[in-house]
Amino acid sequence: MKTIRIHRFGPVSGFELGYSPIGKPLMTVYSFRVGDVMIDTAQANMRGALFDLIREDRPPALILLTHHHEDHSGNAAALSERFGVPVMGHALTGVKLSSPFRIRPYQHLIWGKSSPLAVQPIVTEDEPIQSGTHRLLPIHTPGHSKDHTVYLDRENGALFSGDLFLGERIKYFRADENIREQIASLQKVLTFDFDALYCCHHPCETGGRERMARKLAFLVEFYETVQELHREGMPPRDIVKRLDRKADRLVKWVTLGNACFANMVYSALAG
């Protein structure tokens, strides 16, 4: 089953795409268009649908990537080649996408593999990116991935947040996520003013900064709770059992444990 929708958020277009070999997609992915800039390129498994949606608008002049994950960079190489436009992202995004990178079987099935390409490195937090009438300030926000970067449209009070938000009360982490880095990145982003939050999975036109603040509060409370139980001498597995809301079961099964609640606990205990 496929999900193919185009959303209009004022000056921003959101191309929502989802794929599942059986039943409804577990998660859809948004690629955003503001002016002549495209932010993230969705999953390779939905390439034809994305190209059809772009043809209804017009070709972009610039592609920005929030990070290298295959559901965000999946069509970057194809779009760059088709329309002859540059792709920009964090220097670490460029390193990761300079050659094929390994993904797990479920990632192949649900999203597909990203093709290697040359990514022009951006100067984060110092130099806004100007394209047409839009200026986007890149802000490095590691935690979900080391290269994760969000883009702030100060003039329009909008944040293109990649996977920094996802939801106010996160149910699971990937095995490579870092909770302390995510907390620091959320704190950094909340020093800026914005209202629209263009998350690549759960966008909202208003109240975005408040929602981001609630996620920060949730992660801080979770981290402090795990640390307190650890100081009391509780073993990691018992902490998982104590705090587990059993809300990750389907995702844990599909990803063979690569994304699960226990990873949040282990991240809070690491280092």
Q: Using one digit for the tens of pLDDT, what is the confidence trace for 6-54?
A: 999 999 999 999 998 887 888 899 999 999 999 999 999 999 999 999 8
pLDDT at 57 over 70: no
* C-alpha torsion angle, residues 225, 140, 61, 136 (rounded to 10): 90
199-246 confidence digits (pLDDT tens): 999 999 999 999 999 999 999 999 999 999 999 999 999 999 999 999
245 domain-assigned: no
Q: Are 142 and 110 in contact (CB under 8 A)?
A: no
247 domain-assigned: no
Give the pLDDT band (50/70/90) at residue 271.
Answer: low
At residue 219, the pLDDT reads 98
pLDDT at 252 over 90: yes
The CATH number for 28's domain is 3.60.15.10
230 domain-assigned: no
66 domain-assigned: yes
251 domain-assigned: no
Mean pLDDT (whole number) for 164-188: 97
Cα–Cα dist 137/132, whole Å = 14
Give the pLDDT band (50/70/90) at residue 126.
Answer: confident
244 domain-assigned: no
DSSP code per residue over 154-165: GGGTEEEEETS-
DSSP 62: E
Crossing angle of the two packed helices 208-231 and 236-243, in degrees rounded to 10: 130
Q: What are the tokens at 8?
A: 């209009």
Which parts of 66-174 are beta strand (E)?
A: 87-89, 120-121, 129-131, 134-140, 149-153, 158-162, 173-174
236 domain-assigned: no
76 domain-assigned: yes
Number of domains the chain is built from: 1
* C-alpha torsion angle, residues 186, 189, 192, 193 (rounded to 10): -70
Name the residue range of residue 32's domain. 2-216
- The model carries a pTM of 0.96
